Amino acid sequence: MHTEQRTFIAVKPDGVRRGLVGEIIRRFEQKGYKLIAMKMLDVTREQAEKHYAEHKGKPFYERLIEYIQSGPIVAMVWKGYNVIAGSRQLMGVTNPQEAQVGTIRADFALVKEYNVVHGSDCPESAEREIAIYFADDEICDEYDNMAEIVIEKLDD
Ligand code: IDP
Ligand code: MG
């Protein structure tokens, strides 16, 4: 049985400022994932604290909260076969200096404090993060993209 998942992806403020929105979206589209929600917004302190609750108390927490609020983000929901692990592969590991060449973070970022993109790390955090930024009626899942047509064929 295939694993259709949803994940929360955000172009962080440094990625927006550097003009990487299109490039990052292109990589997810090109892979075959389906974009089902997107908006630009200024993250509130409350949203930032919810988003990064797991990091509360860590030495970099306050800077992280400031960073995610340092300019608008582009928040997105992507859907697809194994999209959570797959999108983390496309992004590369947290520290751009350790990320594989060819990943977003390796190709476009220098340090982990400014690593241009966020992606959920498991189905539970994906659903939790989606709910911080999107209402149910902002999700547009009522269309078939090419990848879904491929997956339907796999199920036959
Ligand atoms: P992830 O974004 O790859 O899932 P997490 O460990 O969840 O990485 O950390 C969330 C974000 O916090 C990272 O993307 C990065 O921006 C920041 N961060 C993580 N570790 C450090 C650190 O050691 N110093 C500064 N910032 C960090
Ligand atoms: Mg994380």
Distance (Å, whole) CA 94 – CA 96: 6
Does ligand 1 come within 6 angstroms of the Cβ of 89? no
pLDDT average, residue stretch 137-143: 94
Q: What is the largest CA-CA distance in the chain?
A: 51
When divided into structural domains, the chain yields a total of 1
Taking the model in full, what pTM does it have?
A: 0.94
Range of the domain at 69: 4-155
Question: At 19, which CATH number?
Answer: 3.30.70.141
Q: How many CB atoms lie within 10 A of CB 10?
A: 23
| CB 144 less than 6 A from any atom of ligand 1 | no
Residue range 12-37, pLDDT digits in tens: 999 999 999 999 999 999 999 999 99
Tens digit of each residue's pLDDT (9 = 90 or more) over 109-139:
999 999 999 999 999 999 999 999 999 999 9
Q: Which ligand is nearest to the CA of 105?
A: 1
For 65-112, write each residue's pLDDT tens digit: 999 999 999 999 999 999 999 999 999 999 999 999 999 999 999 999
